[in-house]
Amino acid sequence: MKKLTILPALILAACLMPLSGGASATECYAVRNAESSKVKTINVSPTAQVGTIRLDLVNGAGQRVFKEKGNLVGTVTSGGFGFTILSHTANFAGSSFVTEGDLAIVTGIRAVDAQGIPCSFFIDETISHISTGTGIFSNVESVNIKADGYISFCPAENENQFSLSGEVCVGN
């Protein structure tokens, strides 16, 4: 008789388990190649850039989960010799995110102006914290995105271009 009482209890427990708020799953999305994930901005002040971001994300099976072009605003929050700390706000059709503490490191001089003063630099930037997000970015658990490219304050070239790589991990 005890076997009959225990069996229904086990079946009930097994059925309720998915409803009981167990550990949430995390899915990581890779930033697809540099041709489809890139940033292009212009400098509107010494501490602000505005432009566009194209982001292409794929899941572990290689299936596209996000591919959109959006608006991007970058703001320098601090810095020192050879590095800058920034935040970025990206807005897409149904998703958005805000980053904080992005680290941009100067890796070389790309161009000089007519007087020989450096005005364009190669940059390696690391984005490792999304503070808020909506849509696909509403529950970001971790992010490790590299932005490799350049910034330019040269008189004939006021633009910044970066290729993106890395991953974004989102909880369900």
The amino acid at residue 78 is S
Residue 19 lies in a domain: no
Residue 97 lies in a domain: yes
Residue 7 lies in a domain: no
Q: Which domain holds residue 119?
A: 24-171
For residue 28, the model assigns a pLDDT of 96
Residue 1 lies in a domain: no
Half-sphere exposure of 101 (CA within 13 A, CB side): 7
- At residue 17, φ and ψ (nearest 5 deg) are -55, -45
Q: How far apart are CA 97 and CA 100, in angstroms?
A: 10
pLDDT 10s digits, 149-163: 999 999 999 999 999
Residue 50 lies in a domain: yes
Reading the block at residue 38, the tokens are: 């890139």
The amino acid at residue 21 is G
Residue with structure tokens 């991990």? Answer: 169
Q: What angle do CA 40, 41, 44 make, to 5 degrees?
A: 170
Residue with structure tokens 């330019």? Answer: 152
Looking at the whole model, is its pTM more than 0.85?
A: no
Residue 43 lies in a domain: yes
> Are residues 17 and 136 in contact, defined by beta-carbon separation less than 8 angstroms?
no
Residue 6 lies in a domain: no
Q: Is 17 left (phi over 0), alpha (psi -120 to 50) or beta?
A: alpha
Domain count, the chain: 1
pLDDT exceeds 80 at position 6:
no
Residue 13 lies in a domain: no
pLDDT 10s digits, 71-124: 999 999 999 999 999 999 999 999 999 999 999 999 999 999 999 999 999 999
Q: Give the 3-state secondary structure of residue 20.
A: coil
Among residues 96, 27, 99, 30, the alpha carbon closest in space to that of 68 is found at 96
